[in-house]
Structure 1
Amino acid sequence: MADDRPNILLLLTDQQRFDTIRALGNPVIRTPVLDDLVARGTAFTRAYTPSPVCVSARGAMLTGLEPQTTGCTDNAPMDFSRQSLMQRLP
């Protein structure tokens, strides 16, 4: 029996603006692999972050909670006592 659930690839890069990808409008930088992913998938070009710091922003995204709620407001390690998206996936 085939699995009908979609394959999801969540790609996170540090300090990369969306306009540094050729498929999203940059005429100078060559990004063939990312361009292929954009062509075959979904690119979120109007995404916003709850925090300018990468660890707290990722913690918020993966727990669904604000950085102040998770206690992770800087680049310190996350509190793993809170359930994250990865723990909820089957």
Structure 2
Amino acid sequence: MATHKIAIVKGDGIGVDVVDEGMKVLDALAPKYGITWDYTEFPWSSDYYFQHGEMMPATALGTLENFNAVFLGAVGHPDIQDNITLDGLLLPIRRRFDQY
């Protein structure tokens, strides 16, 4: 049975719900196709920004290189400027892993 390592970044608001439901779908499909998922959740979100002053740590992209996939939910908060969430999390992940 193949195991795939998936980094989970739920993000904010509806992103949390969407990722949770997406994981249910992945889990439902896994036995049919002989796949297992090895999920690792990361707390990178607007709450993380409020606590640490950054959307994700400087080592985050290197950490994500160890995964087969990144499941990333919506990110944003009314009290955080869009450029912070975009430049601090979303765009670095997209650029590093060529995901547009």
TM-score by length of 1: 0.31
Identify the structure with the greater helix proportion.
2
Higher relative contact order (CA 8 A, sep 6+): 2
Bigger Rg, structure 1 or 2? 1
Identify the structure with the greater strand proportion.
2
TM-score by length of 2: 0.29
